[in-house]
Amino acid sequence: MKTLIFTQKDFGLGTLRENNMLLDPELPLADQVDDLEEDLLWATFPNGVHLWIGWFPAHRADGEFAVGLVHNPDAGGVPSHECRCRSISELQGIVKEAVSIAVGIKGLYILAGYNELDADWVWLNELVLEADRPLEEQTASLKAELFEAAFVEGYVLTVGWIPAHDPNGRFVLSLKRTRGEWVLDPAYSDVVPRRERKPESWEPFMEKQCRSIPELKMIVKDFVRVAKGQ
């Protein structure tokens, strides 16, 4: 009899967003290929981690389950942790371990370049901090270069901490003009043209400093408005 292989209780602090894992544990998976899709389950955690389960290739008897964890919102869905298997019993063990890993990941990505800022390209996103801890206690994460996103209108938004790793430092946010030519990046040539990354050609346009995450978010919001001509 078909039953949901996973329920909300299997994800603890996580939230089950989508669950299409309705299978019969007593039947061979090869006899259930019609129910084995690429998008079977999706759960999210308070720290921004996404857990997904799929069957690849979809609807194929020679496929396998894949369990992935995605933390970086600008990684294009590429998992930071992934495991594969070919049985429900193995899958249950892998998911239990993946949930443990997901819950244990510290820090939240402060900015989501593509989804939140509507950036056209995100070249760097290492702005990962714990919102409930003072910045002075997270100096290892406070790097000189933390975030870099570009907009088709001809601007680049950068965020860094200066001096790097110094508890007395500050966030430095810059909006710069980029004049480079449009080029086709071979890795993306089937999708869209991409502006070549040439930091040496960027011209300073606006710069602000702050020492808190709420201030940073407000400044970023203002910079994005300018970049998009709003």
Distance CA 71, CA 49 (A): 4
CA distances in angstroms from 122 to 111, 148, 152, 155, listed in the order given: 11, 6, 12, 12
Both tokens of residue 216? 């940073």
Distance CA 93, CA 2 (A): 20
pLDDT, one tens digit for every residue, the chain (230 residues): 899 999 999 999 999 999 999 999 999 999 999 999 999 999 999 999 999 999 999 999 999 999 999 999 999 888 999 999 999 999 999 999 999 999 999 999 999 999 999 998 898 999 999 988 999 999 999 999 999 999 988 899 999 999 999 999 999 999 999 875 555 455 554 444 455 677 888 899 999 999 999 999 999 999 999 999 88
Q: What pLDDT digit, counting tens, does each position of 29-76 carry?
A: 999 999 999 999 999 999 999 999 999 999 999 999 999 999 999 998
Q: What pLDDT digit, counting tens, does each position of 13-27 carry?
A: 999 999 999 999 999
Distance CA 69, CA 83 (A): 9
Side by side, the strands of the sheet bearing 170-177 are: 121-125, 147-151, 155-162, 170-177, 203-210
Q: Which is it for strands 170-177 and 155-162: parallel, antiparallel or unpaired?
A: antiparallel
Both tokens of residue 228? 């998009």
**Whether the Cβ atoms of residue 148 and residue 126 lie closer than 8 Å to each other:** no
**Whether the Cβ atoms of residue 57 and residue 32 lie closer than 8 Å to each other:** no
Distance CA 209, CA 201 (A): 22
